[in-house]
Amino acid sequence: MRYQNTKTLHKLERNWKKVVYPMAIAASLTTSFTWADTTIRMLHLEADPKVVSVWEQVAHDYEKANPGQTIKLEYLENEAFKQKLPTLLQSEQRPDIFYSWGGGNFQTRVDAGLLKDVSKEMEDVKSKFSDVSFNAFNYQGKQYGLPYMVSQVGFWYNKSLFQQAGVDADQVVTWDDFLGAIKKLQAAGITPITTAGGDKWPVQFYWALLTMRQAGQQGIQDAIDKKEPAFAGEDFIKAGEELKRLVDLKPFQSGHLAASFGDSSGNFGDGKSAMQLMGDWNYLFQAQQSISGKGVGDDNLGWMNFPVLKDGKGKATDTLGGIAGWVLTSEASPEAVQWLKYFSNIEMQKHLASINMIIPVVKGADVAIENPFKKRIAQNIANSSWHQLFYDQAFGANVGSVVNDVSAGILGGALSPQEAAEQVQEAWEFE
Amino acid sequence: MSNNVTPEKRVKVASNQSAASNQSVSRWFKKNNHGNRLLTLVLFLPPALLLFTIFVILPIGEAGYYSLFRWNGYGEPTKWVEFGNYTRLFKHSAFDTAVWNTLKIILISIVIQLPLALIIALSIYKKSWTNSLFRLIFFLPYILAEVAAGLIWRFVFDGDYGVMSSFTEALNTDSWYILADNNWAFVAILVVLVWKYFGFHMMIYIAALQGVPKDLIEASKLDGASRFQAIWYVKIPLIISGITISIFFSILGALQTFDLIMPLTGGGPSNSTHTLVSYLYTFGITRMNVGFGSAVGVVLFICCVIFAFTYQSTMMKDKK
């Protein structure tokens, strides 16, 4: 007996690795499984610490009410987020919930089976959201997430510079009025517009809004549906020509073709140019980017909707902007779904709206908006006859980038309106 | 049973046979082992070959495979487009620009950068402390990370605050935004490229020049050669192998140029400053056209292979 015992001991001594290693692996596996059950990972690109601190507070409250669950907010910078997401979503490290815009990129991810169908789970909260925003995360009749905020693109302008040039913003209704205002500003020695040709997407807003005004909702839908001649059609060329008319006046700050969004907003914030075509988020950003840190003050700041084209099919109440929200990845836990529903509550939406951070999507939350600009923009979106998503999000990564390219191409004089429309169409056909 | 071999015997015969074949294998091995060379091959080739296959051959093959698909990088590629990606590539004007820009970099390297490096190397290759100092100064740009260098030069070229703006102010002309200029942006990049890499080539030449025997130069002087003649007939022929290497590096470098382009212009304005690699990155990766990007990669690969082989077989061949 004794002898045998020592023999097994010897065996163990020699083979301890065979025993210990599997045990260690098994132990680490079980811990990571329990870990995955209780930790909800939420990936975002919000750089503003004010917003994140609000989220953290909400997460903290939720953790208290639901013991055993941990909410982890993870941050990636905007460009890094866009570039890492495709690989991240296919890896084991994918988050449960991540920030997303509606539109083509979102749909691509649904097609690839990366997102979780939560139609049933979200049925009971559907009525809380405005229809447009809720449906932005609906694709082929299935719901994949919840909206978070909306935005609109329009002209921010500098009132005192307008006054100096004798331009009345209320009188700028049509595109011709707008071009007239540009000439007046130039005559007064003021740079009319600042834009960011280096980043391209701010320039895309011009082409996008002009095509919307010219072709109208039906026209854009036909082009998306590939009804000939689609994006190569007359309306799209006409929109490019109108943009060319603007460019020929040389209304932009010098060096605009290499300027970044930050440069351009700083230029506006410093009062060096009279207008900037940008989304409502620029309200805070232009101040942050200005030299003084204060930017164009509230009393001096104005908002103007994009002018209409005289013979265009689009309406003045058609708006361009974004709908951002949160989607769930295919293996997100039921807890993550519950958390997202909790996260999208009206109190937080109200809170963020009251500190000018978002234009809320939950019905009734917009009463909390105190800022007159944000209020006006919220109303614009609420009364919108058609809210079109940013083209670069709506059309997917590839065609979206081509739209950005051709817009910058027209601005730089490298492309004719005809060529621009053809290139978009070519990219769309390839899609 | 037709023969009277017992089962035990049969086994014995079989084992004898296998022993014989074992013997012949080992004999063959000994015969062909050429002082353990075959053994080394058997032991060391498989792991190297495995690594090389996994990290080099397979990815190249995969790129070739993916280039035949329209694929956004999600899941498995399914949309077969044959050579659609390639036809699209050759029709794309930005690709033409990228190819031209790459050729321009090669040209500038050979016509301006390398002669400049050679002239400087000739003037500071002798050992003295001032020369060491100059060597250090000229070599500094090469040490700097490309992205940092790009950002610094972006600032230099800035029309509002940069060195360029004080320049235009001094001349009392309108501020000039060279990186926003379709015609000049790439010239600005070429300037940065020459500045960044001439120090590297200079170092190659200095090393080569220090290996030139002094007595040869002295002999040429005694024969009445002028300074220029000594350089042309003695020094340059003796460092020609250094020059071929440096041409090789500059062409390969031109084909890879990427990390200076992105911080300076990101390929803009209007895609006028793309090189092959920044084109691949922009149109293939950031736009989620992995299939298209693979096609660009394959074209780039073919260019590199053709260049490498022709260069090897012409310039770098040992002259007998």
Task: Sort out which chain B residues have CB atoms less than 8 A from A109's CB and list them.
Answer: 74
Compare CB distances from A114 to B74, B179, B270 and report the shortest one's residue: B74
* Max CA pair span of chain B: 116
Tell whether A175 and A248 lie within a shared domain.
Answer: yes
B180 CB within 8 Å of a chain A CB: yes
Q: Is the pLDDT of residue B67 over 60?
A: yes
**DSSP label at residue A115:** B
**How far off is chain B from A83, nearest CA to CA, in Å?**
6
Write the burial class of residue A135 (CB in 10 Å: 0-12 exposed, 13-18 middle, 19+ buried). Answer: middle
> What's the whole-number mean pLDDT along residues B57-72?
92
Q: Is the pLDDT of residue B19 over 70?
A: no
Residue A190 is predicted with a pLDDT of 96
Whether residues A307 and A257 fall in one domain: yes
CA–CA min distance A24, chain B (Å): 29
Examine residue A6 and state whether it is found in any structural domain, yes or no. no
The closest CB to that of B74, out of A90, A257, A405, belongs to A90
What's the pLDDT at B2? 47
Fold of B97-273: MetI-like fold (1.10.3720)
Percentage of chain B with pLDDT > 90? 56
How far does A411 lie from chain B, in Å, by closest CA?
9
**Residue predicted with more confidence, B57 or B286:** B57
Find chain B residues with C-beta within 8 A of A83's C-beta. Answer: 285-286
Residues of chain A with Cβ-Cβ distance to B271 below 8 Å are: 405, 414
On whether residue A232 sits in a domain, the answer given is yes
Residues of A in Cβ contact (< 8 Å) with B75: 90, 112-113
Residue B132 pLDDT more than 60? Answer: yes
**Which chain B residue's Cα is nearest to A88?**
B74
Contact B296, B276 (CB under 8 A): yes
Q: Tell whether A184 and A310 lie within a shared domain.
A: yes
Q: Which of A112, A255, A398 sits opposite B74 (nearest CB)?
A: A112
Which long-range contacts (C-beta less than 8 Å, at least 24 apart) are formed by B311-317? B311/B248, B311/B251, B315/B244, B315/B247, B315/B248, B316/B244, B316/B248
A173 CB within 8 Å of a chain B CB:
no
Q: What confidence score (pLDDT) does residue A27 get? A: 58
Closest CA of chain A from B10, distance in Å: 40
**Do the Cβ atoms of A288 and A268 come closer than 8 Å?**
no
pLDDT digits (tens, 9 = 90+) for A77-113: 877 888 788 889 988 889 999 999 888 889 989 988 9
Chain B, 259-288: which have a CB under 8 Å from a chain A CB?
A: 265-266, 268-272, 285-288
pLDDT in tens, B22-54: 778 888 877 777 778 888 888 889 999 999 999
The region, left, alpha or beta by phi > 0 then psi within -120 to 50, assigned to residue B92 is beta
Percent of chain A with pLDDT over 90: 61
My answer on whether A165 and A247 are in the same domain is: yes
Contacts of A106 in chain B (CB under 8 A): none
Is the pLDDT reported for residue A29 higher than 60? Answer: no
Distance CA A280, CA A377 (A): 7
The residues facing A99 across adjacent strands are: A326
- Among A37-41, A172-176, A287-291, B51-55, the least confident range: A37-41
Question: Chain B: nearest CA to A278, how far in angstroms?
Answer: 21
Per-residue model confidence (pLDDT) at position B302: 93
Closest-approach residue (CA) in chain A for B289: A398
pLDDT at A252: 95
Q: Are residues A78 and A208 in the same domain?
A: no
Can you tell me the distance from the alpha carbon of B272 to that of B93, in angstroms, rounded to the nearest whole number?
10
Q: Are residues A158 and A55 in the same domain?
A: no
Please name the residue of chain A whose CA is at the shortest distance from the CA of residue B174.
A254
Mean pLDDT is lowest, of A10-14, A383-387, B52-56, B139-143, for A10-14
pLDDT at A56: 93
What local confidence, expressed as pLDDT, does residue A35 receive? Answer: 47
The residues with which A276 forms a beta bridge, in sequence order, are A156, A194
In this structure, of A161-165, A266-270, B28-32, B107-111, the range with the lowest mean pLDDT score is B28-32
CATH code for the domain in which residue A42 is found:
3.40.190.10
**Which pLDDT value is given to residue B260?**
93
Partner residue facing A408 (CB), from B160, B177, B270? B270
Q: A260 is in which domain, residue-wise?
A: 153-320+388-429
Instruction: Please name which of B222, B246, B216 lies closest in space to residue B234, comparing C-alpha atoms.
Output: B216
Residues A201 and A247 in one domain: yes
**Yes or no, beta carbons of A414 and B179 under 8 Å apart:** no
- Inter-chain CB proximity B159 and A197 less than 8 Å: no
Does residue A276 contact residue A251 with C-beta atoms inside 8 Å? no
Res. A221: pLDDT tops 60: yes
Residue A4 lies in a domain: no
In A, minimum Cα distance to B176 occurs at A255
A402 and A272 within one domain: yes
Arithmetic mean of pLDDT over chain A: 88
B54–chain A Cβ distance below 8 A for any pair: no
pLDDT at site A7: 54
The predicted model gives A416-429 an average pLDDT of 90
Q: Is the pLDDT of residue A63 over 60?
A: yes
Mapped onto helix, strand or coil, the DSSP state of residue A63 is: helix
**pTM (2 d.p.):** 0.78
Residues A168 and A233 in one domain: yes
Contacts of A112 in chain B (CB under 8 A): 72, 74-75
Does the pLDDT value for residue A32 go beyond 90?
Answer: no
User: pLDDT (tens digit, 9 = 90+) per residue, B278-292?
Assistant: 999 988 888 888 899
Q: Is residue A7 part of a domain?
A: no
Is the pLDDT confidence value at A204 over 80?
Answer: yes
Provide the shortest C-alpha distance from residue A200 to chain B (in Å): 9
- The rounded distance, in Å, linking the Cα atoms of B256 and B275 is 8
pLDDT at B13 over 70: no
How many folded domains does chain A comprise?
A: 2
In this structure, the answer to whether residues A379 and A407 fall within a common structural domain is no
- A165-198 pLDDT tens trace: 999 999 999 999 999 999 999 999 999 999 999 8
Mean pLDDT across the stretch A366-374?
89
Residues 81-110 of A with CB under 8 A from B: 82-83, 86-87, 89-90, 108-109
Would the pLDDT of A36 be above 50? Answer: no
Where are chain B's structural domains? 97-273
Nearest CA in chain B to A404: B270
Average pLDDT, integer, range A285-295: 91
Same domain, A197 and A175: yes
**Residue A278 sits in the same domain as residue A424:** yes
Closest Cα in chain B, distance from residue A327 (Å): 17
Shortest alpha-carbon distance between residue A117 and chain B (Å): 18
**CA separation (Å) from B6 to A45, A223, B3, B123?**
83, 88, 9, 92
Nearest CB among A109, A397, A412 relative to B287 is that of A397
Strands A97-101 and A39-44, by their bridges, are parallel
Provide the CB-side half-sphere exposure for A183 (13 A, CA).
8
